[in-house]
Amino acid sequence: MAKKTYDLLFKLLLIGDSGVGKTCVLFRFSDDAFNTTFISTIGIDFKIKTVELQGKKIKLQIWDTAGQERFHTITTSYYRGAMGIMLVYDITNAKSFENISKWLRNIDEHANEDVERMLLGNKCDMEEKRVVPKAKGEQIAREHGIRFFETSAKANINIEKAFLTLAEDILRKTPVKEPNSENVDISSGGGVTGWKSKCCS
Amino acid sequence: MDQSVAVQDSLKEDENCIVAAQCQFFVNDVIESRLVSLVECKSEYGIFLFTHRRMAITKDDISLDKVVPITKDCTIEEVLSEFPVLGADMTVRITSDSVFLELQLPFSSHSQRFLDETCKACHGVDMSEDPCPQFLWLSKYLPKSALASDSEKKGAFIPTAAFKGIETEASDNKRKTGTATVNGKSQVSEETKQNIQNISDNNAVRDGKVKPEVNNDMVRSSSYTVANKAQMLAMPQFELRDNLIKCELLKREESYTFTKNYRFFVGTYNVNGQSPKESLLPWLKGGIEPPDIYLVGFQELDLSKEAFIFSDTPKEQEWSKAVYEGLHPESKYAMIKVIRLVGIMLLFYVKKELAEYISAIEAEYVGTGIMGRMGNKGAVGIRFNFHNSSLCIVNCHLAAHTEEYERRNQDFRDICSRLTFRSFDPVLPNLPIMKHETVLWFGDLNYRISDVDVEQVKKLIDERDFKTLYKYDQLKKQMEEKAVFDGFTEGELTFQPTYKYDTGSDQWDTSEKCRTPAWCDRILWKGKSVKQLQYSSHLSLKTSDHKPVSSIFEIGIKVVNEELYKKTFEEIVRSLDKMENECIPSVSLSEREFYFKDVKYMQRQVQTFTIYNDGQVPCQFQFIQKLEEPAYCKPWLTAQPCKGFVAQGAKLEIELEVFVNKTTATKLTSQEEKLEDILILHLERGKDYFVPISGNYLPSCFGSSLQALCYMREPIQDMPPEHIQQFTLMPLHPQTEPSNTLEKQLDIPKEVWMLVEHLYRNACHQADLFQQPGLRTEFEEIRDCLDTGMPDSLPGSNHSVAEALLLFLDALPEPVICYSHYHKSLDSSGSYTQCKQAISTLPQCHKNVFNYLMAFLRELLKYFMFNNLDRSTLASIFGSLLLRPPPGIKQDATQKKKVQEFIEHFISKQEDVS
**C-alpha A200: how far from its chain's center?**
31
Cα B561–Cα B562–Cα B563 angle in degrees, nearest 5: 95
Position B718 pLDDT exceeds 80? yes
In the structure, how many helices (H) and strands (E) does chain A have? Answer: 6, 6
User: Residues 26-65, chain B: which have Cβ within 8 Å of A?
Assistant: none
d(CA B435, CA B390): 9
B335 contacts A189? CB cut-off 8 A? yes
Position A65 pLDDT exceeds 90? yes
B230 contacts A4? CB cut-off 8 A? no
Number of Cβ pairs < 8 A linking chain A and chain B: 140
Position B353 pLDDT exceeds 90? yes
Using alpha carbons, list the distances in angstroms from residue B690 to A14, A75, B105, B656: 17, 10, 37, 14
Position B239 pLDDT exceeds 70? no
A81 contacts B234? CB cut-off 8 A? yes
Using alpha carbons, list the distances in angstroms from residue B804 to B91, B337, B786, B795, B801: 63, 97, 10, 11, 5
pLDDT, one tens digit per residue, over B731-787 is 887 655 555 555 578 889 999 999 999 999 999 999 989 988 899 999 999 999 999
B574 CB neighbours in chain A (<8 A) are 50
B324 CB neighbours in chain A (<8 A) are 189-191
Between B889 and B348, the more confident residue is B348
d(CA B111, CA B116): 9
Position B54 pLDDT exceeds 90? no
d(CA B169, CA B29): 37
User: Residues 551-610, chain B: which have Cβ within 8 Å of A?
Assistant: 560, 573-574, 576-578, 580-581, 584, 592
pLDDT, one tens digit per residue, over A115-131 is 999 999 999 999 999 99
d(CA A108, CA B812): 44
Per-residue HEC secondary structure of A73-125 comes to HHHHCCCCCCCEEEEEEECCCHHHHHCHHHHHHHHHHHCCCCCEEEEEEECCC
When mean pLDDT is compared across B109-113, B557-561, B630-634, B792-796, the lowest value belongs to B109-113
Among chain B residues, CA nearest to A82: B230
B337 CB neighbours in chain A (<8 A) are 185, 187
A61 contacts B687? CB cut-off 8 A? no
B361 contacts A185? CB cut-off 8 A? yes
Return the SS3 of B682: strand
- Out of A57, A81, A198, whose CB is closest to B230? A81
B332 CB neighbours in chain A (<8 A) are 192
d(CA B534, CA B548): 14
Instruction: Give the pLDDT score at B544.
Output: 94
Q: pLDDT band at B289, cuts 50/70/90?
A: very high
Contact B633, B652 (CB under 8 A): no
User: Nearest-CA distance from B281 to chain A in Å?
Assistant: 15
B361 contacts A195? CB cut-off 8 A? no
User: What 8-state DSSP symbol labels residue B572?
Assistant: H
Q: Is B335 on the interface with A (CB under 8 A)?
A: yes
d(CA B707, CA B747): 9
Q: Is B823 on the interface with A (CB under 8 A)?
A: no
d(CA A21, CA A123): 8
d(CA B809, CA B818): 12
Contact A10, A36 (CB under 8 A): no
Q: pLDDT band at B169, cuts 50/70/90?
A: very low
pLDDT, one tens digit per residue, over B833-842 is 999 999 999 9
* A3, A4, A5, best to mutate vs chain B, most B CBs in 10 Å: A5
Phi/psi of residue B609, nearest 5 degrees: -145, 165
Instruction: Give the pLDDT score at B90.
Output: 76
d(CA B342, CA B395): 13
User: Nearest-CA distance from B145 to chain A in Å?
Assistant: 44
Contact B78, B90 (CB under 8 A): yes
d(CA B602, CA B744): 30
d(CA B418, CA B365): 9
Q: pLDDT band at B41, cuts 50/70/90?
A: confident
d(CA A119, CA A116): 11
Q: Is B361 on the interface with A (CB under 8 A)?
A: yes
Instruction: Give the pLDDT score at B286.
Output: 81
Q: Is B355 on the interface with A (CB under 8 A)?
A: yes
Return the SS3 of B295: strand
B387 CB neighbours in chain A (<8 A) are 200
Contact B689, B587 (CB under 8 A): yes
- Out of A1, A66, A71, whose CB is closest to B246? A1
Instruction: Give the pLDDT score at B241.
Output: 72
User: Nearest-CA distance from A134 to chain B in Å?
Assistant: 34
Position B213 pLDDT exceeds 60? no
A59 CB neighbours in chain B (<8 A) are 236
pLDDT, one tens digit per residue, over B844-874 is 999 999 999 999 999 999 998 888 888 889 9
Q: Is B319 on the interface with A (CB under 8 A)?
A: no
User: Nearest-CA distance from A62 to chain B in Å?
Assistant: 11
Which one, of A22, A10, A35, lies nearest residue A87 by Cα?
A22
A189 contacts B320? CB cut-off 8 A? yes
Per the omega criterion (within 30 degrees of 0), is the bond before B641 cis?
Answer: yes
pLDDT, one tens digit per residue, over B118-156 is 888 877 776 666 556 677 787 777 654 444 334 333 333
Instruction: Give the pLDDT score at B319.
Output: 94
Q: pLDDT band at B158, cuts 50/70/90?
A: very low
B320 CB neighbours in chain A (<8 A) are 189-190
**For chain A, how many residues are written?**
201
Terminal-residue alpha carbon distance, chain A: 4
Cα Dmax for chain A? 77
pLDDT, one tens digit per residue, over A121-159 is 999 999 999 999 999 999 999 999 999 999 999 999 999
Position B457 pLDDT exceeds 90? yes
Position B201 pLDDT exceeds 50? no
Q: Is A155 left (phi over 0), alpha (psi -120 to 50) or beta?
A: alpha
User: What 8-state DSSP symbol labels residue A152?
Assistant: B
Position B55 pLDDT exceeds 80? no
Sign of CA dihedral B766, B771, B777, B783: positive
d(CA B177, CA B247): 67
Strand A116-122 versus strand A147-150 pairing type: parallel
Q: Is B354 on the interface with A (CB under 8 A)?
A: no
d(CA B128, CA B138): 19
Query: Which DSSP string corresponds to B807-870?
Result: HHHHH-SS-SS-GGGHHHHHHTTT-HHHHHHHHHTS-HHHHHHHHHHHHHHHHHHHTHHHH---
CA atoms within 13 A on the CB side of A193: 7
Instruction: Give the pLDDT score at B627.
Output: 77
- Out of A5, A47, A197, whose CB is closest to B241? A5
pLDDT, one tens digit per residue, over B529-542 is 999 999 999 999 99
Contact B659, B602 (CB under 8 A): yes
Instruction: Give the pLDDT score at B312.
Output: 77
Using alpha carbons, list the distances in angstroms from residue B642 to B222, B675, B682, B718: 10, 19, 10, 38
- Out of A5, A46, A192, whose CB is closest to B332? A192
For chain B, what is the mean pLDDT? 83
User: What 8-state DSSP symbol labels residue B627?
Assistant: T
Q: Is A75 left (phi over 0), alpha (psi -120 to 50) or beta?
A: alpha
Which one, of B793, B858, B818, B804, lies nearest residue B707 by Cα?
B818
Helical pair B144-152 and B158-167, crossing angle rounded to 10 deg: 140
The complex's ipTM works out to 0.85
pTM of the model: 0.61
Phi/psi of residue B483, nearest 5 degrees: -85, -15
Q: Is B387 on the interface with A (CB under 8 A)?
A: yes
Phi/psi of residue B470, nearest 5 degrees: -60, -30
A43 contacts B352? CB cut-off 8 A? no
The 10 Å Cβ neighbour count of residue B238 is 15
Instruction: Give the pLDDT score at B461.
Output: 94
A190 CB neighbours in chain B (<8 A) are 320-321, 323-325, 335
Instruction: Give the pLDDT score at B122.
Output: 78
Instruction: Give the pLDDT score at B51.
Output: 84
- Out of A2, A80, A196, whose CB is closest to B227? A80
- Out of B233, B338, B357, whose CB is closest to A200? B357
B238 contacts A71? CB cut-off 8 A? no
